[in-house]
Structure 1
Amino acid sequence: MHDTGDLGDVVAEAYALGPGDWGMEPVARGALGQIWKLTRSHAPNGPSDDSADGPSGGPAWAVKELLFDGDEEQVLRESALRDAAERLGIASPRLFADRAGACLTRLGGSPDGPCVKLYEWVEGARADSRDPEILSWCGRTLAALHRAGAQETGTPDPWYERCPSPAEWATLHARVRRADVPWADALGRFVASSAGELARHVTASVADGVPCAGEEVVTSHLDVQPQNVLVGPHGPVLLDWDNAGPTSAGRELAQAVFVWSGGNGFHADSARRLVRAYREAGGRPVLRGLDSFSMLFATALNYVRVQAECAIDPTVTPAQREFASGQVVASLRDLPDPTAVARLAECLEQSW
Structure 2
Amino acid sequence: MSIPPAEHVADAFDLGRPTGPMRAHRYGSSETWRLETVSGAFLVKRLWTGEDPSWRPALEAAMVFEGACTAAGVSMPTPVWPVDAAFGCAARLPEDGVVRVYPWLEHRTVEVTDDLAEWLGTTLARLHRTAPISGSTPEPEWYGIFPAARWGAWLREGIVQGRPWAAVLKERLPDVLRASRWVAEAFGVTGHYVRTHRDVLPANVLITAHGPVLVDFDTAGPDSAPLETATATLVFALRGGAEPDRDQVGRTLAAYEREGGQPLPPREDLLARRLGMKLGTLSERLDKTLGHAPAGSWDLGKADLRAAQQLEEIPVLLHTLRRWSSLFTSSSMSQGVRLSRLRGVATDDHRGAHPWAHD
TM class by shorter chain equals 0.7 to 0.9
Deviation track 1:53-107 (CA, whole Å, cap 9, x = no partner) reads xxxxx32333244489374433333333223222332221222232222323333
2:122 is aligned with 1:140: yes
Gaps of 5+ in 2: 331-337, 342-359
- Specify whether residues 118 and 70 from structure 1 end up closer, same or farther in structure 2 by C-alpha distance, changes over 3 A only: farther
For residues 236-292 of structure 1, the C-alpha deviation after alignment (integer angstroms, 9 at most, x for no partner) is: 110010111121111111111221121863222222221121112211041322332
Structure 1 counterpart of 2:211? 235
Partner of 2:146: 164
CA contact (8 A) 1:69 1:115 kept: no
Distance between the aligned counterparts of 2:98 and 2:307, measured in 1?
25
| Structure 1 residues 287 and 320: alpha-carbon distance in aligned structure 2, compared to 1, 3 A threshold | same
Q: Which amino acid aligns with 2:307?
A: V
Identity score, percent: 24
Structure-2 change in CA distance of 1:12 and 1:241 (3 Å): same
Structure 1 unaligned spans of 5+: 41-47, 50-57
Give 1:202's aligned residue: 183
The alignment covers a number of residue pairs equal to 324
What does 1:152-301 correspond to in 2, within 5 Å? Answer: 155-161=137-143, 163-193=145-175, 195-203=176-184, 215-262=191-238, 265-301=243-279
Tell me how far apart the structure 2 counterparts of residues 124 and 154 of structure 1 sit (CA, whole Å): 41
Distance change (3 Å), C-alpha of 1:190 and 1:10: farther
The one-letter code sitting in structure 1 at the alignment partner of 2:161 is: A
Distance 1:90 1:154 in 2: 27
Q: Answer whether contact 1:311 1:320 (CA < 8 A) is retained.
A: no
Structure 2: how far apart are the matches of 1:153 and 1:36? 41
SS of the aligned residue for 1:17 comes to coil
One-letter amino acid of the structure 2 residue matched with residue 175 of structure 1: E
AA matched with 2:92: R
What residue in structure 2 maps to residue 100 of structure 1? 84
Counterpart selection for 1:29 from 27, 30, 36: 27
Asked if 1:119 is matched to 2:102, the reply is yes
Contact 2:80 2:102 in 1 (8 A): yes
CA RMSD of aligned residues (A): 3.1
Inter-partner Cα distance in structure 1 for 2:21 and 2:81: 20
Q: Name the CA shift for 1:260/1:331 in 2 (closer, same or farther; >3 Å).
A: farther
Counterpart of 2:32 in 1: which secondary structure? strand
Secondary structure of 1:344's counterpart equals helix
SS where residue 182 of structure 2 aligns?
coil
1:307-318 alignment runs, 5 A limit: 307-313=285-291, 316=294
TM-score by length of 1: 0.79
For residues 160-205 of structure 1, what are the alpha-carbon distances to aligned partners after superposition, in whole Å with 9 as ceiling and x for unaligned? 3561223321210221232233443344444353x13422312267
